[in-house]
């Protein structure tokens, strides 16, 4: 199946692209530094996962604000690996694959830390929110991947990974993780539904021209 043309979606504004352009003057020098000292893009990808795991451990041990600070420090690594690959002049299919996979693990590890934290407090509402937030976050990613696998596009929605990360970092720093869970639990699932609807419109468009 040939990919359905979605010109509006191609030109749409995204926070991720805006931040990449805004901080390009900072990200590229950092990427060059890592390359000079012998790091590879995939190593930075794995480092980002390790940092997120450390933040999750801080949440479990009730160091919520420190977890937010650690995430804030580690967040730029999410784009540094891509910049490193670009500076090297080649991109690896495996690198792109592992970047997406580690992004999903990072989110789930972080939410897992919150789950353990709230289980220890016997906070049933928070535990349910963690589950719903995790489900929504995974479905946002899955709907996009599945749509693209079928030749469609689904790069739309209120709460992509960048927005979810920003919300989580801010709420952890201000020690209000429940606020992050409510926002992510609701809006990530809204985003998944937006993408499902967007793909449905594309499939109907295909049928109408067959």
pLDDT tens, residue by residue, 129-169:
999 999 999 999 999 999 999 999 998 888 998 899 999 99
Q: Which two tokens stand for residue 95?
A: 């690198």
| Total domain count, the chain | 1
Q: Is 79 exposed, middle or buried (0-12, 13-18, 19+ CB in 10 A)?
A: buried
Structural domain range at position 50: 12-209
The pLDDT score that the predictor gives to residue 14 is 60
Domain assignment present for 3 = no
> Using only C-alpha atoms, what is the Rg of the chain?
18
Residue 4 inside a domain? The answer is no
* Residue 72 within a domain: yes
Place of tokens 């604000």: 65
- At residue 113, the pLDDT reads 98
- Average pLDDT of the segment spanning 26-32: 84
User: What average pLDDT does the structure give for the chain?
Assistant: 88
| In 75-176, alpha helices (H) | 77-88, 93-120, 124-149, 161-173
> What's the token pair of residue 75?
């967040």
Residue 90 is predicted with a pLDDT of 73
Query: What is the C-alpha to C-alpha distance for residues 141 and 181, in angstroms, rounded to an integer?
Result: 18
Residue 59 included in any domain: yes
Section 17-38 average pLDDT: 78
Residue 169 lies in a domain: yes
Give the pLDDT band (50/70/90) at residue 82.
confident
Is the pLDDT score of 96 beyond 80?
Answer: yes
What is the reported pLDDT for 22? 64
pLDDT for 17: 65
Q: Report yes or no on 193 lying in a domain.
A: yes
Confidence (pLDDT) at 30: 86
Is 7 domain-assigned?
no
Domain with residue 174: its CATH number is 1.20.120.1760
Q: Over 60: is that where the pLDDT of 60 sits?
A: yes
pLDDT beyond 60 at 4: no
Please answer whether residues 92 and 80 qualify as being in contact, where contact means their C-beta atoms are separated by less than 8 angstroms. Answer: no
Please state, in angstroms and rounded to a whole number, the distance separating the CA atoms of residues 189 and 82: 27
* 1 occurs within a structural domain: no
pTM: 0.86
Q: Once rounded to an integer, what is the mean pLDDT over residues 55-77? A: 95
């Amino acid at each position: 199946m040939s990919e359905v043309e979605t010109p509006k979606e191609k030109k749409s504004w995204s926070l991720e692209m805006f931040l990449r352009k805004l901080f390009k003057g900072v990200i590229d020098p950092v990427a060059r530094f890592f390359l000079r000292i012998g790091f590879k893009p995939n190593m930075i990808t794995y480092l980002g996962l390790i940092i997120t795991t450390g933040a999750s451990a801080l949440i479990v041990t009730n160091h919520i604000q420190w977890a937010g600070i650690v995430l804030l420090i580690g967040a730029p690594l999410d784009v540094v690996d891509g910049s490193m690959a670009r500076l090297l002049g080649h991109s690896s299919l495996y690198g792109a694959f592992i970047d997406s996979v580690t992004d999903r693990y990072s989110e789930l590890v972080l939410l897992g830390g919150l789950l353990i934290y709230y289980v220890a407090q016997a906070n049933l509402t928070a535990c349910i929110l963690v589950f719903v937030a995790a489900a929504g976050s995974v479905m946002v990613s899955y709907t996009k991947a599945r749509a693209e696998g079928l030749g469609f596009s689904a790069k739309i929605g209120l709460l992509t990974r960048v927005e979810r990360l920003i919300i989580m970092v801010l709420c952890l720093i201000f020690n209000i993780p429940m606020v992050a869970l409510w926002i992510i639990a609701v809006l990530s699932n809204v985003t998944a539904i937006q993408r499902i609807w967007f793909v449905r419109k594309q499939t109907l468009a295909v049928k109408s021209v067959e």
